[in-house]
Amino acid sequence: MNVDEVDPVEVVPGILRRRLPATEWARGWMYDFAPGTEWPEVDVHEGEERYYVISGEFIDRGQRLGPGSYVVFAPGSTHRPRTETGARMLGISVLPR
């Protein structure tokens, strides 16, 4: 599938989310952040969450994450990504069993 053919939903102005096919244990999304945007609230995870930065740069938990960066958040962890440059990431949530 081509993720750019999936209709985006605006999370907040400047942040688009495309929901990708899911399984019973995992969900995936493609996120596009416009320059100067921030996730609207602290993101809390019931299960594990992973993301891979495709383009641009995110700032999350004090780290600058550019293309090729891969991050894993443990269940119960929190974060709030933002970007100055604009960025695209693939996010995967592993659901608790």
Q: Tell me the pLDDT tens digit for each residue of 22-57.
A: 999 999 999 999 999 999 888 887 889 999 999 999
Tell the residue number behind the tokens 């600058």, with chain if given: 64
Instruction: Give me the pLDDT at residue 14, please.
Output: 98
What is the distance between the alpha carbons of residues 57 and 60, in angstroms, rounded to a whole number?
Answer: 10
What is the distance between the alpha carbons of residues 6 and 77, in angstroms, rounded to a whole number?
Answer: 29
What is the distance between the alpha carbons of residues 89 and 28, in angstroms, rounded to a whole number?
Answer: 11
β-strand 48-56 against 70-73: which pairing, if any?
Answer: antiparallel
CATH of 3-94, one of 3.40.190.10, 3.10.180.10, 2.60.120.10, 3.40.50.300: 2.60.120.10
Q: How much is the pTM?
A: 0.90
Tell me the Ramachandran region of residue 76: left when phi exceeds 0, alpha when psi lies from -120 to 50, beta otherwise: left
